[in-house]
Structure 1
Amino acid sequence: MKLLENSSFEAINTQLTIETGDCQIIGRIESYSCKMAGEDKQMFKQFCQEGLPHVLEALSPPQTTGISPNKLSQSQSGDEAEGPLSDKCSRKTLFYLIATLNASFRPDYDFSRTKSHDFSKEPSSYCKVNVLNAVNSSLSSAAGGEFSRLQPQLWQAVDDEICLSECDIYSYRPDLDSDPYGEEGNLWSFNYFFYNKRLKRIVFFTCRSVSVFMTPVDSETGNDLDLDLEEGTSLVR
């Protein structure tokens, strides 16, 4: 998957890191070409050893059935996650989705073992409305006016790049072990793929909300500071 340059997306991404009172919104939107070359072709051949490119794979039920993304993380565990699989996609499309994740999160994460049931396809009859409303609702609730001002520009840029009316929309719903945003302090997240088969292109929109109260202190400086504070406390006593 080749990352495509898009100046509109670059400008929007600078505005998708938003500080709120108790959390930080971190989002990015990227465009990828599905035209395979070199390494992608080799990976695709290996991927299809388990089945032909046009064999259909079962997906999990859609995520945006009247709930907003900030509630999706709660639905990824429990009874709903074990419900019946409701849609399918070809192994070739599944490869595109997995390859997009690998390209976007490289080198920190490897999604080569990701399965079809980690993805959902939003119903085509109203996927655009539901997905856009879910994203808008979640970001507006978290960021208020800052996102409201960005919202028209964002969706216009997406439409210009991918032609929303022609897209199939998929979402990634990982388990806790494979979630790139599964660390402590993550409040909610979403990962949407806007796939235009005619253009052979995917626009990937990923976003998360992180609690500002759960920032880990891993550096030696931080540990030394904690030690100094403890020593200072003991001297006062």
Structure 2
Amino acid sequence: MKFLEHSHFEALNSALNFDAGIYRIIGRLESYSCKLVASEKKLFKSMNAADGLSPNDLEALSPPNSSSFPSNSFSSSFNSRIASMADEFQCSQTSRKILFYLIATLNASFNPDYDFSHCRGDEFSKEPSIKHVMDAVDSSFFNSSAREEYNAVKAQLWSAIDSHINLSDCEIYSFNPNANFDPWDECCIWSFYYFFYSKKLKRIVFFAYRAVRKDDADVEEQEDTGYTSFDMDLM
């Protein structure tokens, strides 16, 4: 996967850093080309050969988080519940090729600290719609003390992603890491990982964000010697 530089994403990465009381919320927005490098092609071939499957074979995924309904959901109509179950079924699988793109994106983003090559389909979900994802992201921030700060950049965030990858023409996935292998588990209160995949553009936008205790966030900033601040206006 090739990292694609994007000035507006860089500016947003600087802006997506919010004080949320006892913790800090930190966002990461990156873009990658789906063109595999030589080492990724080799790994992809070896994984398919080991399982005796082809890139177009389907891999089972976990249902999206929307499968968990609150206790008052019984007030909803039976037909709505059936429709929701059908959506979940349609979102519970993808091709092994796309699954590998998601794994390769994680490897590229967290290189060299983590290797996600062992991850399998049940650690990923296919999200039912962009609205579902936007609502989930908005809720995460609005339920924190950083709601006002997030609201100030919300429009720029989704506009930048849409202009780069065309959200209406994307498949959206999320990563649900095993509790024993979450790259941010040791310092996180909670975290989310989303992938916006465009088959037409052969591109993935990776959007991850996490809530970190302030002491841990300060340590991260001190260790991140490559950090750059951007003062440019957001589009």
TM range (shorter): 0.7 to 0.9
Pick aligned residue for 2:124 from 110, 116, 119: 119
**Relative to 1, partners in 2 of residues 1:66 and 1:165: Cα closer, same or farther, differing over 3 Å?**
farther
The corresponding residue for 1:88 is 93
Deviations for 1:21-76, whole angstroms, at most 9, x for unmatched residues? Answer: 21011111101000123222222212221221001010001024578xxxxxxxxx
The corresponding residue for 1:157 is 160
The corresponding residue for 2:63 is 61
1:190 and 1:208 in contact (8 A); partners too: yes
**Based on CA coordinates, which of the two structures has the bigger radius of gyration?**
1
Query: Which amino acid letter does the alignment assign opposite residue 172 of structure 2?
Result: I
Superposition pairs of residues 1-237 of structure 1, within 5 angstroms: 1-49=1-49, 50=51, 51-64=53-66, 87-123=92-128, 127-142=129-144, 143-183=146-186, 185-212=187-214
Q: 2:117 and 2:110 mapped to 1: Cα distance?
A: 12
- Per-residue deviation at 1:182? 1.2
Q: Percent of counterpart pairs with the same letter?
A: 50
Q: 1:186 and 1:60 mapped to 2: Cα distance?
A: 22
Structure 1 unmatched runs, 5+: 68-83, 218-237
- Per-residue deviation at 1:144? 1.6
Query: Which amino acid letter does the alignment assign opposite residue 124 of structure 2?
Result: F
**Relative to 1, partners in 2 of residues 1:63 and 1:129: Cα closer, same or farther, differing over 3 Å?**
same
SS in 1 for 2:141: helix
Query: Which amino acid letter does the alignment assign opposite residue 32 of structure 2?
Result: Y
**Relative to 1, partners in 2 of residues 1:216 and 1:27: Cα closer, same or farther, differing over 3 Å?**
closer
1:122 and 1:169 in contact (8 A); partners too: yes
Output the aligned Cα RMSD. Answer: 2.1
The TM-score normalised by the length of structure 1 is: 0.78
The corresponding residue for 1:78 is none
The corresponding residue for 1:235 is none
- Per-residue deviation at 1:148? 0.5
Q: 1:11 and 1:66 mapped to 2: Cα distance?
A: 35
- Number of aligned residue pairs: 197
Deviations for 1:163-212, whole angstroms, at most 9, x for unmatched residues? Answer: 000111000001111111211x4211100000011111100001100123
Question: Mean Cα displacement is larger for which, 133-142 or 191-200?
Answer: 133-142
Query: Which amino acid letter does the alignment assign opposite residue 155 of structure 1?
Result: W
1:191 and 1:207 in contact (8 A); partners too: yes
Q: 1:66 and 1:87 mapped to 2: Cα distance?
A: 14
Q: 2:218 and 2:25 mapped to 1: Cα distance?
A: 17
Question: Mean Cα displacement is larger for which, 114-123 or 33-42?
Answer: 33-42
**Relative to 1, partners in 2 of residues 1:66 and 1:46: Cα closer, same or farther, differing over 3 Å?**
same
**Relative to 1, partners in 2 of residues 1:164 and 1:66: Cα closer, same or farther, differing over 3 Å?**
farther
2:56 and 2:95 in contact (8 A); partners too: yes
